Amino acid sequence: RALWGWLGLTFVVVLAMSGWLKWQVETVEKWRLAELLWLYGLRLVLMAMLVLPWMQYQLHSQTGSARYPQFYLRLWHNVLTLFIVLVANGLFWLVLLLWSALFRLVGIRFFSTLFFETEAFIYVTIGLITALAVILARTQSRLVAAVQKLLTLIATGLLPVVSLLALLFIVTLPFTGLEAISARVSAAGLLSTLTLMLLLLVAIVNEPQKRVLPYPRVLRGMISASLCVAPIYMLLAGWALWVRIQQYGWTPDRLYGALTASVLLVWSFGYLIGLLRRGRDPGEWQGKVILSVSLLTLVILLLLASPVLDVWRISVNSHMARYHSGKITADQISLYMLDHSGKPGQEALKSLRDDEAFTQNRKRNRKLMTFLQRNKVSPTADDLARVVMIAPGSQKPDAAFWAFVKEQSYSDDSCLEPDACVLVSQDLNGDGQPELVLYNFIVAESQVYGLKEGKWTQKAFARLPDGFSKTQLLHAIAGHQLDSAPKAWRDIIVDGQRLDVDYYNE
């Protein structure tokens, strides 16, 4: 019954997380979904590694048994099982890669198609190899214990080196100053990495059954001293992050960095308190610290997959708040970041479309519309024919023209916007046959189309001047001020203003 309870709870949590992710990525382009799904998968694996020891303790441990020794052993076993699964899958797929490559040499592509292009084969094979690797890890407990012992010995050799590095760097800081840290973009990441390595190595080497670290007294003192300065490193990392946040606002990476620094700060302070508690068993306190940190990390991972710690919403709100408060200008708004921030980013992009201060610059507006159009349903040729205004006195084109425009133009989506596009007939080469000029005021350009051997072709395009509008164009047409500058293929003159037209192959 307890097992089914844990499985049911896990199912509900994963279902809720998946539903939240699906809602977030509805506006994300398909080619970017793979990266998000990989990140989601890695997060699930990390959560599984943290929650499995707790489940196993509740299901299998005897009443009254110490929790941390069980947590330590089961976490080691689970991590090594995952390692064996990855190695087994990697080696097997390398063999299949060699298999397919050899047969491709003699012109047989069957195996390449079967192994790497048949989804059913891929899923079944990965599942089978994973299951066999898990069975191997569970049945060969002595082998897993030997690997654990080997890795523990490696960690035992690395811990004094990392401790010495931590002490040397902290001694160097008073002579170099803290300004060098705040000036480096990667400072918080480097300090957090050093602290994480130190804390992990201590947790690995200081096994639950050992009362003291397996080193001479001098080395134990050096390691204890490095643990004392670990909180200082995390305070410096937090300060460096805060400087960046004050300068540039929140981003997903900075939020992840702040959460990581918070967990490491709690972990390092926990170890420091354990060192200061003289007369108490340090191993027992270390167990409480690590168990608490594992639960804290699990809670943070759960909140990251919920609306509470929505990194996209927090980042977008921070960025737009800086814009509205005047800390950054319209030119400093990162449209790329907003476009890569799911639904909150799309809402922010739409709000900029109605922001007169932002859209008054044609170049900015053109970039904004390019991002917005990516997530819209592309209009049909009939939609364009119905929406695009035909200028007074201009001929109405046939259906083939609209089909060609739909096929060729990347910016035709914006023609569905109000007052976005106007089609004008104008003879630009003096052959008596008028070309069709499609003015797009959203992207600030015009496309020139003409007939060649009975088929529509794209002849040229021209950038529109800043501030040029539909009203100006129609006013120029009504006042007979739409002209062209003389050349083999002429530039366009609107109300005395010349548009430099770049013709293709002319």
What's the rounded mean pLDDT across residues 105-133? 91
Distance CA(395)–CA(386), nearest Å, equals 15
pLDDT digits (tens, 9 = 90+) for 296-350: 999 999 999 888 999 999 999 999 999 989 888 888 888 888 888 888 988 998 8
Distance CA(357)–CA(362), nearest Å, equals 11
Cβ(495)–Cβ(481) below 8 Å:
yes
On the 0-12 / 13-18 / 19+ scale of CB atoms within 10 A, 220 is middle
Tell me the pTM.
0.75
Say which range, 278-282, 301-305, 426-430, has the weakest mean pLDDT: 278-282
What's the rounded mean pLDDT across residues 250-256? 91
CA 60 remoteness from chain centre: 39
Q: How is 420-476 classified by DSSP, letter by letter?
A: -EEEEEE-SSSSSS-EEEEEETTTTEEEEEEEETTEEEEEEEEEPPTT--HHHHHHH
Torsion of CA 120, 126, 129, 131, to 10 degrees: -100
pLDDT digits (tens, 9 = 90+) for 31-70: 678 888 888 889 999 999 999 888 888 877 665 567 888 8
Q: What is each CA distance from 210 to 196, 203, 273, 282, 432, in whole angstroms?
A: 22, 11, 19, 10, 96
- Mean residue pLDDT of the chain comes to 86
Longest dimension (CA), the chain: 102
Contact residues for 269 (Cβ-Cβ < 8 A; gap 6+): 231
pLDDT at 313: 93
Gap between the terminal Cα atoms of the chain: 80
Cβ(285)–Cβ(251) below 8 Å:
no
pLDDT digits (tens, 9 = 90+) for 448-493: 998 888 888 988 888 888 778 888 898 898 888 888 877 677 888 8
Q: Give the neighbor-by-neighbor strand order of the sheet with 497-499.
A: 482-485, 491-494, 497-499
Radius of gyration over alpha carbons of the chain, in Å? 32
Q: How is 62-76 classified by DSSP, letter by letter?
A: PTT--HHHHHHHHHH
